[in-house]
Amino acid sequence: MRLARAVDAYLRHITIERGLSEHTVAAYRRDLAGYRTWLQERGIDDADEVTAALVAEFAAARASAEPPPAATSLARLQSSVRGLHRFLVREGLAQTDPSDRLRPPKAPQRLPKALSIEQIEALLDAAGPAPGDAVDTDIVRLRDRALLELLYATGARVSEVMQLDVDDLAHGDVLRVRGKGAKERIVPVGSYARAAVDAYLARARPELSRRGRASARLFLGARGAPLSRQGAWLVIQAAAERAQLSAHVSPHTFRHSFATHLLQGGADVRVVQELLGHASVATTQIYTHVTVDALRDVYLTSHPRAR
C-alpha cells in the first residue's frame, strides 16, 4: 500500500474511530509527514517495503538531530510510527510490523508544578471581581474570573473547558466534560466556581454574544466568537502578572494545583483519577510524590530531631 494512502487511512482512523483531539491528530500528521518524506528520500514509497532496520535508522536520525529534540517529542514521534504500522497490520493492509521492536526513549519524570492555595486565591482575585462584587463591571473581567474559577474547581484541561457549551452546566453543581477520546465524565463544581459562572452568564455573556454570531460555547471572546485556547492562555498570563506571581503559570497549572490540593486534603487517589479523566491510576500517582514532598518539608521544619 502506498505510504500516502496508508497515512491518510491511519489519520482518518484516529480522528473518526478513536476520536482523538484535533491537536493530537495535527501532531501525528506532522510526525508522519516527516517520516514519509524521510522514507521517500531513500526510495521507499510502499508500506510493505519498510523494514525494521529503516525504522530504527529513522528513530536514530531524529534522536541525533540538532538541536536535540525533547524526549517527549521523540516519544510522540515513535508512537506515531508504531501506531501507523500496527494499524496497517491490524487492518490487513500490510503483512508485517517493522516497528514492533521500536522502544520509545524514557522521558525524565518531572513533578508537576502546583501553586499554593494562597497563590491560587491571589490569581483568582486578580482575574476579575468576585461574584458579589459590584465595583468592577468589566464584562471581560467577569468572564476571566469565571474561567479561572472553573479551571481550578474542576481540574479540567483547558481544551475541555474551551469545548464546553452553556447546556453542559445545566445539571447544577456538576459539569459534563468531554475528555480525550471523546470520553465523557462528570465533575462536581464548587459553590465559588458556580457563583462566578452564574455571574458571568447573567451579567457578561449576553453582551459578548451580541457582539458576534450566535454560539453555544460557554466562554466567548471580546468580539463574541468562542474563546480559543490561546485566548485562555493570555487571560491566565494577564492575571498572573496582576497577581505578581513569580512562578510560571499555565492553563495546566490549575489542573496540577487541583489534583495536588485534593490529595493534600485527604482525597483518595482513585477519586482524583476519575475527576482528572486519567485512563490509568499510574498517571495520577505522580501527584502523590508532590504531597509526600510536602509532608517531608513539614516534618523537617517541625520535628525537633528531624535533622
255 noted as active-site residue:
yes
Q: Residue 77 in 3-state DSSP? A: helix
287 noted as active-site residue:
yes
157 noted as active-site residue:
yes
* Parallel, antiparallel or unpaired: strands 174-178 and 184-188: antiparallel
Q: Which of 82, 85, 205, 255 does the annotation list as catalytic? A: 255
242 noted as active-site residue:
no
113 noted as active-site residue:
no
What cell was used for 191? 459553590
Alpha-carbon distance 32 to 14, whole Å?
A: 13
35 noted as active-site residue:
no
Q: For residue 150, give every residue at least 6 positions away whose Cβ sits within 8 Å of its Cβ, in sequence order, or none.
A: 156, 161, 175, 189, 193, 196, 197
Q: Which of 180, 217, 229, 242 does the annotation list as catalytic? A: 180
Contact 260, 112 (CB under 8 A): yes
* Cβ neighbour number for residue 204 with a 10 Å cutoff: 22
Which amino acid, one-letter code, is at 179? G
Q: Which of 90, 171, 252, 289 does the annotation list as catalytic? A: 252
Residue/partner pairs of 265-274 with CB below 8 Å, 24 or more apart: 274/185
Q: Which of 178, 205, 256, 278 does the annotation list as catalytic? A: 278
Q: Which of 10, 28, 35, 287 does the annotation list as catalytic? A: 287
Q: Which of 62, 157, 178, 205 does the annotation list as catalytic? A: 157
Q: What residues are labeled active site?
A: 157, 180, 252, 255, 278, 287
